[in-house]
Structure 1
Amino acid sequence: MEGLVVIGPAGSGKSTLIGALSRWMRKFSTIKIGKINMDPGADVLPYKPDFDIRSIVRAEEVMKNEKLGPNGAMVRSMEIVEERLDEVIDSILSLNADYYLIDTPGQMDAFVFRRSGRAIVEKISSKIRTAGIYLSDCERDVEDFVTAILMGKIAELRLNIRVIPVLNKIDLGGEDLRSLWERIMRGNLKAVEIGGGVGSEALMELIKSISLFSMPVEVIGISALRMEGLEHLFSKLNEVWCSCGDMT
C-alpha cells in the first residue's frame, strides 16, 4: 500500500489533481484507489471522497459553535482531527486500497505548521509507505519559485516524508517555468534575472543556500485539468515509494 499527501497553497490545484490522478489510475483495473479528503473547510470537491474528514468535523460548524474566525476554526478543526486520529486512520485503512490519495487543506499552515498535521502524516506513514508532493502553479517571478522551494522543504521537514516538487498548470506557463524552478534549486545564479532593490542580495543568498541543502531534484510538470504529465508523475512517485530511484 502506498500513500500520497498532496500539499500546496490554495488555488494550486490539489483537489483537481486528486480527481485527475484517480481517473488516470483507473486505467489499471487491478488498482484500488482511496480518495481521502482531509480538508474540513472544503466546500465543493471535483471528486467523490472515499473518506471525507467532513463526516467528523466541518470548519464552518466549528466557526459557528465555538465563535471563531475562519483561520481559528480551521486550526481547531485540525485539533479535533488529531483528538480522533485513531478513528480517522482506522476508517481510512478500512478502505483496503492499494493507493491512498490524500487531499490537504488549502490553508496550508493549518496542516504543515501545526502538530495535528504532522501527527496525521506520521500515523499514516507508520502504516503505509507515504510520499508527498508540493504542488505549485505557474508563477513567473523568481521570488515565487524561491518561496515554493522553501515551503516544499519546510513541509518535508515538518511532516518527515519525502516531498517532490510538482508544477501544475504547465499548459499555461510552459516548459521554461519548470526549467527555471530546477535551475533555482541547483543554485544556477546565471540563469536567474534578479532586479535591484533591497531584497535582491538576500534573494541571491537564499538561492545559494537552497542549492546547499536541496539535493538535485527533477521538477515534474503537469496539467491536472488536462490530465497531462500524470504518467511521469506516477513513475517518479513509484521511485520514492520504493526508495530506490534516482530523483535527479
Structure 2
Amino acid sequence: MSRVGVLALGPAGAGKTTFCNAIISHMQSIGRRAHIVNLDPAAEPTEYEFSIDIKDLISLDDVMEEMDLGPNGALIYCFEYLLDNLDWLDEEIGDYSDEYLIFDCPGQIELYTHVPVLPNIVRHLQNQHNFNLCATYLLEAPFVIDKSKFFSGALSAMSAMILLELPHINILSKLDLIKDQVSKKQLKRFLNPDPLVLATEDTDESSKFRKLNIAVANLVDDFGMVQFLPLDCHKESDSVATILSYIDDVTQWSENQEPKDPKDEFEEEIDDFDE
C-alpha cells in the first residue's frame, strides 16, 4: 500500500509550522493520524512534537559553529549531509506505513527553487518507500494582495512546482491579517487570479516596470496553474478541512485504504459504546 506524504513549503514566516499543526489537529478530530517530519535543522516543536526530527542527525547551530558558515551555507550543508545519510531517514520513517507524514521544510526557498536537494529527497521517498506525495506551497495573504508582490510569489510557487514535479497546492495563509484591508470580493481576485488583468490595471508604474509585469503575467497565464486555497487557522472554519480534501484527492488517500472487516468495525463500535 502506498504511503502518503505532504510537503509544507514556502518562504520563511509564511506559516508552514502553523499549517502542519492545524492539519494534524483536524485529522485527530476526525479519527485519523498524522506525524510531523521536521526537515528544518533550526526549528523547534510548537503545538505538536516532531515524530522525526532532522536535528537528531544534524543541527544548523552545530554546523554554523563547527564549519564557520552563515545560516544559508550551513543549511545547504545540512541537506547535503542528509543526502549522504539517507539510511537515517529510511530507518526513521520505517515504522510509519499507513499514516500521513507531513514534512515541514525550511523557509529558504532556494532549497526547492534553485538547488536540487529536495527533488532528490522526493525521488528517494517515491522510489524507495512508495510515497504518494503532494507539495503545498504557502504564501502570506498580506504579501500576495500587493500586485507586484503577487507576481513575485507566483513565480516562486511556479519554480517549486516545476522543480519538484509533484501534485501542487498553493495556499494563501494569514487571512486574518488582511480582513480589514480587502473585501471577500477583492480577495477572490487573488485566490483565482487572472494575471493579465492584474498586470494591465491602471497604476503609477513606470513603463519598463509595467512591461515587466505584463511579461511575467503572460508567463503565469501560459502555465495556468497558479491558484490559491485560503487558510485560516485562528478561528473555526472549513479551510483546513477543504485543503485536506484536496490533498486526499491528489494523493489518492481513500483509494489506498484497505477495507475493514465488518467484524472489526462492529468491535470498534462496541468499544466506543463502552467508553
What TM-score results when the alignment is normalised by the length of structure 2? Answer: 0.80
User: What is the CA deviation profile of residues 45-65 of structure 1, one whole-angstrom value per residue up to 9, with x for unaligned ones?
Assistant: 442111011100101101111
Paired AA for residue 141 in structure 1: D
Q: Give the secondary-structure state (helix, strand or coil) at the position aligned to 2:193.
A: helix
RMSD: 2.1
Q: Give the secondary-structure state (helix, strand or coil) at the position aligned to 2:163.
A: helix
Q: Give the secondary-structure state (helix, strand or coil) at the position aligned to 1:115.
A: coil
Distance 1:219 1:118 in 2: 23
Q: Give the secondary-structure state (helix, strand or coil) at the position aligned to 2:243.
A: helix
Aligned-residue offset at 1:98: 1.8
Q: Is the 8 A contact 2:172 2:228 kept in 1?
A: yes
Aligned-residue offset at 1:210: 0.8
Distance 1:179 1:204 in 2: 17
Q: Which residue of 1 aligns with 2:19?
A: 17
Q: Which residue of 1 aligns with 2:197?
A: 188
- CA spacing shift, 1:202–1:23, aligned 2, 3 Å: same
1:155 corresponds, among 146, 160, 163, to 160
Distance 1:242 1:192 in 2: 40
- CA spacing shift, 1:193–1:60, aligned 2, 3 Å: farther
Judge which range, 168-177 or 152-161, deviates more: 168-177
Aligned-residue offset at 1:72: 0.8
Q: Which residue of 2 aligns with 1:128?
A: 131
Q: Which residue of 1 aligns with 2:7?
A: 5
Q: Is the 8 A contact 1:167 1:178 kept in 2?
A: no
Q: Does 1:173 align with 2:175?
A: no
Aligned-residue offset at 1:227: 6.0
1:27 corresponds, among 29, 38, 42, to 29
Paired AA for residue 30 in structure 2: F
Q: Which residue of 2 aligns with 1:246?
A: none
User: What is the CA deviation profile of residues 187-221 of structure 1, one whole-angstrom value per residue up to 9, with x for unaligned ones?
Assistant: 33488554321312110121122111124x64210
Gapped runs of 5+ residues in structure 1?
A: 244-248
Q: Which residue of 1 aligns with 2:64?
A: 63
Paired AA for residue 219 in structure 2: S
Distance 1:93 1:167 in 2: 33
Distance 2:95 2:41 in 1: 20
Distance 1:87 1:134 in 2: 26
Sequence identity percentage: 23
Q: Is the 8 A contact 2:11 2:109 kept in 1?
A: yes
1:69-218 to structure 2, matched below 5 A, reads 69-126=70-127, 127-138=130-141, 139=143, 140-174=145-179, 175=184, 176-185=186-195, 187-189=196-198, 192=201, 194-197=203-206, 198-215=208-225, 218=227
Judge which range, 137-146 or 58-67, deviates more: 137-146
Q: Give the secondary-structure state (helix, strand or coil) at the position aligned to 1:17.
A: helix
Distance 1:22 1:192 in 2: 41
Q: Between Structure 1 and Structure 2, how many residues are aligned?
A: 240
User: What is the CA deviation profile of residues 118-144 of structure 1, one whole-angstrom value per residue up to 9, with x for unaligned ones?
Assistant: 111121233211011110111231121
Paired AA for residue 131 in structure 1: C
Distance 1:214 1:47 in 2: 36
Distance 1:116 1:131 in 2: 17
Gapped runs of 5+ residues in structure 2?
A: 254-275
Q: Is the 8 A contact 2:5 2:102 kept in 1?
A: yes
Distance 1:13 1:181 in 2: 17
Larger radius of gyration: 2
Q: Which residue of 2 aligns with 1:52?
A: 53
